C-alpha cells in the first residue's frame, strides 16, 4: 500500500497516510486508530478496508510499536485534521476500538470538523494512563498520577484504577484465568468504579460531538462493561442539548472484538473466528452468534459510511 509517514517532531503527530487507490480526488477521510502502530499489519488492514469503502485514511497511534496510552496530547488530532484539509478532504471521520474508541470520542468532542465517529467497545470516561513496558515482568501497569490524555499541556481528569503496580496486572491475570479468557479486566474496572464513582469531569462530553456517532459493544465483553458505558452516553444525551445523532449498536454476543466480519477476515484470512475463540471464552462458546454480530456490524457500518459520504 502507498503510504506517507508522520512524526510528532516534524509533523505534530505520529501516523501514516493511506490514500484510497481507487478514489481519485476523494473528499472523505477517516482518522483510524487500530493496532500497536499506525504502520503495523492491523492498521494497514483497517486502512485497506476503509479504502475499499471509498475513504482516504490517516492512521494514528501514540508512537511506533507502543500500545500504552499515557499523556497523549489531543492537539495531535488538530494537526492531523489540518493535514487532511490540505489534501482536499472535506468530510472527516474517526474510528477507534477499545482504548482508542475512547480516543475517537474524545477527539470528536474537541474537534468539530469530525462529522462521523465510530467507537468499538469504548468506555464513556477518560482512562488513567497505562504502560506496556514489561516493568517487573508485568505485561501492563498503571501510570502514576497520570492521565491517558492531555489538553493544552494539562492532564485530563480520569477514573483511577483500583490497583497499583504490581497488583494491577496480578488482578487482570486472576480474572483472565478464572474466566478462561486470554485477557479479562472487567472486574478491575468494576472495582475501580465501586471505589471511585465516575465524576462529571472524568466523563467524555459526547454532547459536544457533531454529526453521527456510532458506539458498538457486546454484553459478553470481558475487558470492561462497554454496553453499560454506551447506555450511559445515550442517557446523558437524553437530558443535555446536543447536535449529534447517536447510535448504540449493542449485541448479546460479540466479545471485545466487535469488528466488521470482512475486516476481521482481512486481518486473518484463515481462522479469524478461531482467534476470537482462543482469545475469549464467549467466542469459543458462541462462535456462530459472535460471527452473526460481526456480519451485522459489517453491513450496518458500510451503509453508515455510504450515508455519511452522501450527506444523508
pLDDT at 65: 67
Phi, psi of 73 (to 5 degrees): -75, 120
Domain annotation covers residue 197: no
Assign residue 271 the CATH number of its domain: 3.40.50.1820
Is the alpha carbon torsion for 52, 221, 210, 234 positive or negative? positive
Residue 64 pLDDT > 80: no
Confidence of residue 215 (pLDDT cuts 50, 70, 90): very high
127, 211, 276 from 166: Cα distances, Å: 18, 42, 28
Confidence of residue 25 (pLDDT cuts 50, 70, 90): low
Give the residue-averaged pLDDT of 38-61: 94
Dist CA 76 CA 11 (whole Å): 9
47, 110, 217 from 35: Cα distances, Å: 11, 23, 18
Domain boundaries, position 14: 4-126+209-310
Domain annotation covers residue 149: no
Give the residue-averaged pLDDT of 208-220: 98
Q: What is the DSSP letter of 219?
A: T
> Which pTM does this prediction carry?
0.96
Number of domains in the chain: 1
Dist CA 80 CA 85 (whole Å): 9
SS3 call for 306: helix
Give the residue-averaged pLDDT of 77-93: 96
Domain annotation covers residue 143: no
Q: What percent of the chain has pLDDT over 90?
A: 86
Dist CA 258 CA 51 (whole Å): 20
**Structure-block grid coordinates of residue 23:** 478514489
Note whether 204 and 230 are within 8 A (CB): no
Residue 63 pLDDT > 90: no
**What are 152-185's pLDDT values in tens digits?**
999 999 999 999 999 999 999 999 999 999 999 9
**What are 226-245's pLDDT values in tens digits?**
999 999 999 999 999 999 99
**What are 132-152's pLDDT values in tens digits?**
999 999 999 999 889 999 999
**What are 246-302's pLDDT values in tens digits?**
999 999 999 999 999 999 999 887 667 788 988 999 999 999 999 999 999 999 999
Amino acid at each position: 500500500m502507498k503510504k506517507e509517514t508522520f512524526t510528532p517532531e516534524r509533523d505534530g503527530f505520529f501516523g501514516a497516510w493511506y490514500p484510497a487507490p481507487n478514489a481519485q480526488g476523494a473528499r472523505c477521510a477517516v482518522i483510524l486508530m487500530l493496532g500497536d502502530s499506525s504502520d503495523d499489519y492491523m492498521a494497514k488492514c483497517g486502512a485497506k478496508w476503509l479504502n475499499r469503502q471509498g475513504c482516504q485514511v490517516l492512521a494514528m497511534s501514540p508512537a511506533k510499536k507502543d500500545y500504552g496510552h499515557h499523556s497523549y496530547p489531543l492537539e495531535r488530532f488538530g494537526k492531523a485534521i489540518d493535514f487532511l484539509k490540505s489534501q482536499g478532504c472535506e468530510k472527516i471521520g474517526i474510528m477507534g476500538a477499545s482504548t482508542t474508541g475512547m480516543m475517537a470520542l474524545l477527539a470528536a468532542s474537541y474537534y468539530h470538523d469530525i462529522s462521523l465517529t465510530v467507537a468499538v467497545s469504548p468506555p464513556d470516561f477518560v482512562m488513567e494512563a497505562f504502560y506496556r513496558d514489561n516493568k517487573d515482568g508485568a505485561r501492563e501497569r498503571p501510570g502514576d498520577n497520570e492521565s491517558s490524555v492531555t489538553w493544552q499541556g494539562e492532564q485530563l481528569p480520569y477514573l483511577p484504577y483500583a490497583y497499583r503496580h504490581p497488583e494491577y496486572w496480578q488482578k487482570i491475570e486472576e480474572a483472565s484465568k478464572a474466566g478462561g479468557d486470554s485477557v479479562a479486566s472487567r472486574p478491575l474496572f468494576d472495582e475501580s468504579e465501586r471505589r471511585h464513582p465516575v465524576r462529571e469531569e472524568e466523563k467524555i462530553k459526547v454532547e459536544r460531538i457533531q454529526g453521527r456517532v456510532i458506539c458498538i459493544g457486546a454484553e459478553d465483553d470481558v475487558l470492561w462493561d462497554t454496553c453499560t458505558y454506551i447506555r450511559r452516553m445515550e442517557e446523558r444525551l437524553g437530558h443535555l442539548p446536543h447536535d449529534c445523532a447517536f447510535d448504540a449498536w449493542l449485541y448479546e454476543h460479540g466479545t471485545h472484538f466487535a469488528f466488521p466480519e470482512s475486516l476481521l477476515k482481512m486481518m486473518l484470512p484463515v481462522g479469524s473466528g478461531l482467534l476470537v475463540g482462543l482469545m475469549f471464552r464467549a467466542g469459543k462458546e458462541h462462535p456462530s452468534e459472535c460471527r452473526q454480530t460481526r456480519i451485522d456490524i459489517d453491513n450496518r457500518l458500510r451503509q453508515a459510511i455510504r450515508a455519511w459520504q452522501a450527506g444523508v
